[in-house]
Structure 1
């Protein structure tokens, strides 16, 4: 059964597809319902666009699960900003949990919703040899919320509140869609920036590198 890899932005899909093609994999264009899909039969994967923001991503993911048959794992993939020292541009973060940091309950304060990454997928990723890959793979929480983190102070506050290694937008939306569908879920994010004032320019500058590294990890993991 295929792994469904859902990325928020078309630019991410284009860069990831180019990197996977350059690695020698065959890409085939198809569709799932109303959404375009890229199939990689050699590694048993499908790639599709989830859209920007948690709600759109959840909607697309649910639609894809309705129309792409027998998916055994959904991976929310894309880029992220690093929240801790020691994680550099090009590194990949495997989300052991996705924490929905912008779910703000004022009437009855409780911890932010957290969604566990699929344990079997995380275990298999830990076994992937990336020592010669030129980037590091980190395992830890990823913060998810519809907010651009573009200041050192905000990044530190988010780190203090969640303990996350990195921050992105859409993960919690994908996790909720998968929870509704009883489908295993995992978030994989490649780092383009340090969640500071330079985040916007660094996203554009480092997107190709981040997607090449993500492609390397996906090919080694799913091609085993």
Structure 2
């Protein structure tokens, strides 16, 4: 399944691409319109920047899907704040669904928009063995909205409203683009903070760790889809040990 991963921020993209290379994957870089795209042909993967915020991410996701119609699965991959106490900084969240929490209708009363992640991909990710005890992989809903959650009370309110375990910005933009184009979608997030008054500083301090852990999940997942998947996982494990 040809897959594209879009990261909201350039910093996230740089870390993810560097980690994929350190795992031994060869990249080919090309430009399409305003997008710099990194292709990792061994695992049938494209990686690019999706832009900050739901709207920009949706625009760039739509553009990429038009330029590369062979893409069957789009992944939004980046940082998130933890809403649930079960999450630790550095953990990875696989969104079972993306909930657009800032879609605030006032004329009528309707449930918040919710976009299910691809069941097929989620099942594959659930079947992956946990090979690194430094972080855990969680499965649950992720809240999506153009709002920095930097207050514990607001974080608790949002968790109660949405039943989400983490919060980020762009997921709903990617989900809407995929729904429109009838493509599969899933959101992956590395936890950088706990959505409180220290969120901004924690984000900066923990982004590399969170994205490196997310990259480990991605490479383990993509390796299982190849005939030599087991061997690639072994190589990945060796490289993880080598880079600490």
Q: TM-score, normalised by structure 2?
A: 0.90
Return 5+ residue gaps in structure 1 as ranges: none
Moved segments of 4+, more than 6 Å: none
Measured in 1, the distance between the counterparts of 2:68 and 2:199 equals 34
State the alpha-carbon separation in 1 of the partners of residues 144 and 74 from structure 2: 16
Q: Which residue of the partner structure matches residue 55 of structure 1?
A: 55
Aligned residue in 2 for 1:160:
160
Distance of 2:38 and 2:119 partners within structure 1 = 26
Q: Which moved more, 1:206-215 or 1:24-33?
A: 24-33
Superposed counterparts of 1:1-224, under 5 Å: 1-224=1-224
Q: Output the CA distance in 1 between the equivalents of 2:137 and 2:106.
A: 36
5+ residue gaps, structure 2, are: 225-244
**Distance in 2 separating the partners of 1:61 and 1:132:** 31
**1:103 alignment partner, SS class:** coil
In 2, Cα distance between equivalents of 1:120 and 1:30:
30
Post-superposition shift, 1:32? 3.4
Instruction: Give the direction of change, closer, same or farther, for the CA distance of 1:33–1:2 in structure 2 (3 Å limit).
Output: farther
TM-score normalized by the length of structure 1: 0.97
Question: How far, CA to CA, are the matches of 1:90 and 1:32 in structure 2?
Answer: 33
- Give the distance between the partners of 1:32 and 1:43, measured in 2 at CA: 21
Where 1:93 maps in the other structure, the secondary structure is strand
Q: How well do the aligned residues superpose, as a CA RMSD in angstroms?
A: 1.0
| Contact kept in structure 2, 1:130 and 1:217, CA below 8 Å | no
Q: Secondary structure at the match of 1:223?
A: helix
Q: How many residues align?
A: 224
SS at match of 1:220: helix
Distance 1:185 1:5 in 2: 10
- Residues 70-126 of structure 1, C-alpha deviations (whole Å, 9 max, x = no match): 111000110000001120111000000000000001111211100010010001101
Q: Secondary structure at the match of 1:88?
A: coil
**1:133 positional shift:** 4.8
Q: Secondary structure of 1:143's match?
A: strand
SS in 2 for 1:69: coil
| CA shift digits 1:136-174 (9 cap, x unpaired) | 000010000000000000000000000001000000000
The structure carrying a bigger helix percent of its residues is 2
Alignment check: 8 A CA contact 1:143 1:166 kept:
yes
Distance 1:90 1:84 in 2: 14
